[in-house]
């Protein structure tokens, strides 16, 4: 598959995620929107420097949607799910301190993008997704399965695209 074919395939996937059922696309054909609970992220694997991030930014620009990009090797569990805060909740007539979490920096950046650009649909691009720490791996699995970071969902209309390098590029030299 060449770059143009890859871009078109991603655009078709994006279209299915963000458009309403029964809308016609650029081809004039009516397509069905994939329900949120059935949406799955796109995963791009390829050597460093081939343009995975650039391709996704181009697609977002061409489709006139938002684009938020994060490299996960720079993140911790706390920056991904938010910081803990104590809240008082009543259970069975008694009050307890319960840990909740602030909004993730990553989720907040999507809302910032929406506010700054006025675009309510977009691509959340997560680079180096296969190189996260052991403590961040469960958080990434939750994102990919449920479209949430901690207790905060990714906004409707945002496609998650993960990218990584093949294992042979992820080895550090001794």
| Least-confidence region, from 15-19, 35-39, 50-54 | 35-39
Quick one: DSSP state of residue 50?
S
- How many residues are there in the chain? 174
Domains of the chain: 3-168 (3.40.50)
Higher pLDDT, 12 or 75: 12
For residue 81, the tally of other CB atoms under 10 A from its CB is 25
Average pLDDT, the chain: 82
Judging by DSSP bridges, how do beta strands 94-101 and 152-153 pair with one another? unpaired
Residue 97 token pair: 């301190």
**For 21-31, what is each residue's pLDDT tens digit?**
444 444 454 44
Q: What is the pLDDT of residue 174?
A: 47
Rounded-to-5 percentages of helix, strand, coil across the chain: 40, 25, 35
Compute CA distances 159 → 53, 59, 128, 144, whole Å: 14, 12, 17, 11
Which two tokens mark 46? 């390829």
> Are the C-beta atoms of residues 110 and 154 closer than 8 Å to each other?
yes
pLDDT band at 98, cuts 50/70/90?
very high
Q: Where are the alpha helices (DSSP H) in 19-172?
A: 52-63, 77-81, 105-117, 137-146
Average pLDDT over residues 92-105: 90
What pLDDT sits at residue 23?
Answer: 47
Q: What are the backbone dihedrals phi and psi of residue 51, each rounded to the nearest 5 degrees, phi first?
A: 105, 25
> What distance in Å separates the CA atoms of residue 133 and residue 104, rounded to the nearest whole number?
17
Instruction: Tell whether the model's pLDDT for residue 109 goes beyond 90.
Output: yes
Which residues touch 69 (CB under 8 Å, ≥6 apart)?
A: 53, 56, 57, 125, 127
């Amino acid at each position: 598959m060449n770059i143009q074919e890859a871009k078109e395939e991603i655009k078709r996937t994006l279209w299915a995620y963000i458009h309403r059922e029964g809308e016609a696309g650029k081809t004039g054909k009516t397509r069905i929107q994939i329900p949120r609970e059935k949406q799955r992220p796109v995963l791009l694997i390829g050597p460093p420097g081939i343009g995975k991030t650039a391709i996704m930014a181009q697609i977002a620009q061409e489709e006139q949607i938002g684009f938020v990009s994060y490299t996960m090797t720079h993140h911790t569990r706390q920056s991904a799910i938010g910081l803990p805060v104590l809240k008082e909740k009543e259970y069975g007539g008694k009050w307890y301190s319960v840990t909740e979490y602030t909004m993730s920096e990553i989720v907040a950046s999507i809302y910032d993008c929406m506010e700054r650009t006025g675009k309510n649909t977009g691509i959340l691009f997560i680079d180096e997704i296969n190189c996260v720490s052991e403590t961040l791996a469960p958080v990434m699995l939750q994102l990919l399965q449920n479209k949430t970071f901690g207790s905060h969902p990714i906004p409707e209309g945002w496609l998650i695209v993960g990218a990584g390098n093949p294992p042979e590029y992820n080895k550090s030299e001794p």
